[in-house]
Amino acid sequence: MNGTPAMRSILDLAVSGVQALQPYAPGKPLGELEREFGITQAVKLASNENPLGPSPRVRQALRGALDELGRYPDGNGFALKTALAAHVQVDAACITLGNGSSDVLELVARAFLSAQSSAVFSAHAFAMYPLITQAIGARSLVTPAHRGERGPRYGHDLAAMLEAIEVNTRLVIVANPNNPTGTWAPAGELRAFVERIPGDVIVVIDEAYFEYVEASDYPDTVAWIDAFPNLLVTRTFSKAYGLAGLRVGYGVSQPALAEVLNRVRQPFNVNSLAQAAAVAALQDTAHLSASVALNRRGLQQYEAGFKSLGLDFIPSAGNFISVDTGRDAGQVYTALLREGVIVRPVANYAMPGFLRISVGLPEENRRCLEALARVLGT
């Protein structure tokens, strides 16, 4: 019609933060690789999954929950909250359930960030932090990581993060251990950092890989909750518990903070199968111990393999390890795909020469190292 403004694109109609957003890119699925390259028996070492999968108790619990799929899940997650409260020794009112711990991260961003505020996190930290900040329209204050002089290479520089806090900062996120670097902050340093965070700033300690860390001075920050009303600790069942496909995580905080998060939480964000599986996973301590022991041996296997190939790597406390290929890691990644091995290039983390490789079963790790040697010509 005459006089009608030109039709804008759908993207133009989106809020400004979303317009500039690049979606999170998950690891390449096995099926896609096998279809694309005509490969069979490929191995996926790209998404930090537990190669043992869920425990026998979890499988049994899932079978028992199938008959209730016609009904909505418990929107409050009573059984899971009760089990988690006993597990981490807090009141159930301190627990916030999420569709993976990334869901809890989004809840805290939605509850406390706005276009007039900012969030602080480190360079080389989990890609979801800038994504959730940008989507809301808040500013990301990204601090340089350690270079190795005062702390672990690529690790969070907590002093720099403190200095970056501005008057409008409402959120600070620390990944401990961090993905994709595997670095972590010890108890004394991290506690001193939290103590210096202003009371009007929410501090999140993202502990997605908590169960894998075996260092004696690694902190259990849930024990700090009583002392800090502005502290939120996030954890997940996707990694050490082997429930990545079910998407269930949780946050621990004082009840007042949990109540705010529940105001923006979707009422049925954790499905009934995920809730039943998570309760069962907490009970199967033998499976968790086996997963941690397998991971320890896998990290040792990779470290020895990288040393024999003359490759530098970042010592990791997670269930993955990042290795410096000494060249464009994207090309190495593509060559490894043709070998039937899926890993993760991390150029989007400002680490263009690195590949992040998940710990798999021993034979999968060996296959990855052998393929890497062939691709690099070593």
Fold of 56-284: Aspartate Aminotransferase; domain 2 (3.40.640)
Q: Where are the domains of the chain?
A: 16-53+286-376, 56-284
Distance CA 96, CA 263 (A): 11
Three-state secondary structure call for residue 345? strand
End-to-end CA distance of the chain: 67
Q: Are the C-beta atoms of 244 and 353 separated by less than 8 Å?
A: no
Gyration radius from the chain CA atoms: 21
* CATH node for 16-53+286-376: 3.90.1150.10
Q: Are the C-beta atoms of 112 and 257 separated by less than 8 Å?
A: no
**Mean predicted lDDT score pLDDT of the chain:** 94
Instruction: Report pLDDT digits (tens) over 285-328.
Output: 999 999 999 999 999 999 999 999 999 999 999 999 999 999 99
Instruction: Report pLDDT digits (tens) over 212-244.
Output: 999 999 999 999 999 999 999 999 999 999 999
Instruction: Report pLDDT digits (tens) over 254-271.
Output: 999 999 999 999 989 999
Average pLDDT (82-109) is: 98
Q: Are the C-beta atoms of 145 and 156 separated by less than 8 Å?
A: yes
Please report, to the nearest 10 degrees, the dihedral formed by the alpha carbons of residues 43, 48, 49, 50 taken in order.
100
**What pTM did the predictor assign?**
0.92
Does the pLDDT at position 5 exceed 60? Answer: no
Non-local (6+) Cβ contacts of 156 within 8 A are 122, 125, 143, 145, 146, 174, 175, 176, 178, 183, 185
- The secondary structure element, H or E, covering residue 323 is strand 320-324
Return the closest-CA partner of residue 333 out of 368, 294, 306, 301: 368
Q: How confident is the model at residue 13 (pLDDT cuts 50, 70, 90)?
A: confident
Selected residue with higher pLDDT from 151 and 240:
240
Instruction: Report pLDDT digits (tens) over 27-38.
Output: 667 777 777 777
Domains 16-53+286-376 and 56-284 share a fold: no
Distance CA 204, CA 21 (A): 23
Does the pLDDT at position 22 exceed 80? Answer: no
Q: Using omega within 30 degrees of 0 as the cis cutoff, is the peptide bond preceding 144 cis?
A: no
